[in-house]
Copies of this chain bind each other. A is one copy, B any other.
Amino acid sequence: MAQILRVNMTDRTAAYEDVPNEYKFLGGRGLTSTIVYNEVDPTCHPLGPNNKLVFAPGIVTGTNAPSSGRISVGAKSPLTGGIKEANAGSNWPQLVARLGLKAIIVEGYPQDDGWWGLHITKDGVEFFPADEYAGKGLREIFPGLFERFGKKVGIATIGVAGEHRMAMSGLCFNDIDNRPSRYAGRGGLGAVMGSKGLKLVVVDGAGGPGVEIANQELYDQGRKKLTASILEHALTKPGGALNLYGTAVLVNIINEAGALPTRNFREGQFEGAAKISGEAMAELCKTRGGVGTMGHACHPGCIIQCSNVIPNPDGTELASCIEYETTWALGANCGIDDLDVVGKLTQMCNDMGIDTIEAGDVIAVAMEAGLAEFGDGEAAIGFLEEVRQGTPLGRILGMGTGGAAEALGVVRVPAVKGQGMPAYEPRAIKGIGYTYAISTMGADHTSGYTIAPEIAGVGGKVDQFDIDKAELARNFQYSTAFIDTSGHCLFIAFPILDIASGFEGLIEECSGVLGVNWTADDIMAIGKEVINKERAFNRAAGFTEAADRIPEFMKYEKLPPHDVVWDVPDEMLDAVHGAA
């Protein structure tokens, strides 16, 4: 029987608990959000003793389901002040799941200043002093960690940003080559882990019981259907857009749509877009060679393989992975069109435990405040160096977009609930604006990726400028909450939106593992329940509909080239979930 591991950082003890019935049919985000909702006082200080950090692999994570190595991490966010779930792809959650763990709950508060690590194996949990790993770059410490604990372990860790307890810090997991590069990046979860005095969690899955599958036949049937749909869809198939160019295939597409936020959301098109695009990355891999790889997998069992390793001129590693959001944030949004600079910034973020979206947003805010010119790559690198050192300027940037703008007196602040906006301009793509505004997570594209129908023509095609999208936004939020609960990469959304058997496969796969017979209605009901718990947490934390808003400046500043403002009436936003 699967268990829950509860780790107490006050007295450094750990205990295994039975899984309550309420949690048995959950995983991933559904489970982290439910545990946070049940156990964390919504009004607590996010970095104080009463917050908890919850890890949960998805329902099918640890099985051989395709692209299912996802870990959800939950807590009260120091960035937004609300509930947070961020997820990443890595073998770490696969190992956790194979040890028979549904979730790991980290609670309590350190009574001293030292850093600690956890070593979790089939035999139990060991605390070990981790001071030697603190204050250093993750790229520096990872080789020694794998040397010490074995090549096949998984590592969850924070970087110096999390040690500094900064709201822009993420939680880092190893990738398939044991790089520190797969991030549950958003919302400052690294700071929560840092506040607990916990530096890293090493998981060794060897000898674990594996994931119980209640109905192997149903599971296999679902897995095959879902796999087939992924391998068939134009976006996710081998040699498809994501596989060839990575997520950064979107750069030219979104730029063409006039919705690529440029220079701190002043414009919707970037003249240097092509130079930082996925196509440009693929070209670098071809011309520079060396370690350069498009179509890289972030974890074993991923069949979409949209990650990459971008080479330096000499063929050594410049950065891995440069996602669409990353090349946008550190590129277009800062007015930087040099992929080598974007790569260096990316690698710095990965090395010090920073969310790349938040990093690009705060660098742009600092440029907006006049601390550097847009396009000044050297200055951007200098800003991240300040973050690493924890200087006062580094601490301002470390607050994330909302906080940094407040410190610097910047009014043009592209954030919702304090969290910086991702790479889609809500003035030019209204549905994603609904998602940013209404999401329980702050401005977060992954909580309702309406870009699929609005731009990519997936799941139908809707006009990007149409403002009547409450229902669209709602359905995307519910279905996304379920995908995040299942343990699959969000990109399975493309095939399951377009290919009916793929959607059936997802349902059957999860049902097979859990021994249930879910229907499509159940999926949406589960997603809705997760969202409603998150909303209830946020409401109790002090959020009202006034927090579900696009920043004021977008209502009075026209965005070129379409010269559009944010013109969705508040009532239409509030209609997504109805009255509180």
Contacts and interface: CB of A to CB of B under 8 A. Distances in A.
Given A392-B396, A406-B399, A45 B553 contact: yes
Interface in A32-71: 42-45, 47-50
Nearest to A580: B544
Nearest to A371: B392
A140 B553 CA distance: 37
Interface stretch (A164-172, A265-273, A283-291, A504-512): A164-172
A164 B409 contact: yes
B392 A43 contact: no
A165 B409 contact: yes
Interface in A393-407: 393, 395-396, 398-399, 403, 406-407
B407 A48 contact: no
A42 B542 CA distance: 16
B191 A49 contact: no
Given A391-B392, A392-B393, A542-B543, A50 B406 contact: no
Contacts of A395: 392, 396, 407-409
A411 B45 contact: yes
A546 interface: yes
Given A167-B406, A403-B403, A409-B165, A542 B546 contact: yes
A47 B165 contact: no
A48 B547 CA distance: 17
A173 B428 CA distance: 46
A543 B396 CA distance: 25
A167 B556 CA distance: 24
B552 A44 contact: yes
Interface residues of A, number: 42
Given A191-B409, A544-B544, A546-B540, A552 B43 contact: yes
A497 interface: no
A48 B546 contact: no
A549 interface: yes
Contacts of A44: 552
B399 A407 contact: yes
Nearest to A48: B411
Interface in A504-553: 539-544, 546-547, 549, 551-553
Number of copies: 2
Nearest to A545: B542
Most chain B CB atoms below 10 A, which of A78, A392, A408, A543: A392
A546 B43 CA distance: 7
Interface string A69-99: 0000000001000000000000000000000
B547 A542 contact: yes
Contacts of A411: 45, 47-48, 195
A411 B540 CA distance: 20
Interface in A150-200: 164-167, 191, 195
Contact of A50 (B50, B409, B549, B552): B552
Contacts of A409: 47, 164-166, 191, 395
Contact of A542 (B191, B403, B544): B544
Contacts of A541: 546
A45 B403 contact: no
Given A392-B396, A407-B395, A556-B49, A43 B549 contact: yes
Nearest to A551: B45
A537 to B, nearest CB: 11
Contacts of A166: 409
A84 to B, nearest CB: 16
A552 B44 CA distance: 6
Nearest to A552: B45
A396 B399 CA distance: 10
A430 B396 CA distance: 35
Most chain B CB atoms below 10 A, which of A164, A191, A403, A539: A403
A366 B542 CA distance: 27
A552 B48 contact: yes
Interface in A542-569: 542-544, 546-547, 549, 551-553, 556
Contacts of A195: 411
Nearest to A544: B542
A283 to B, nearest CB: 39
A439 to B, nearest CB: 16
Contacts of A403: 403, 406-407
A473 to B, nearest CB: 20
Interface string A209-250: 000000000000000000000000000000000000000000
A513 to B, nearest CB: 38
Contacts of A49: 556
Given A392-B392, A539-B544, A542-B547, 6 more contacts: A42-B546, A45-B553, A48-B552, A164-B409, A396-B396, A403-B406
6 contacts: A43-B549, A45-B411, A47-B409, A78-B406, A395-B396, A396-B407
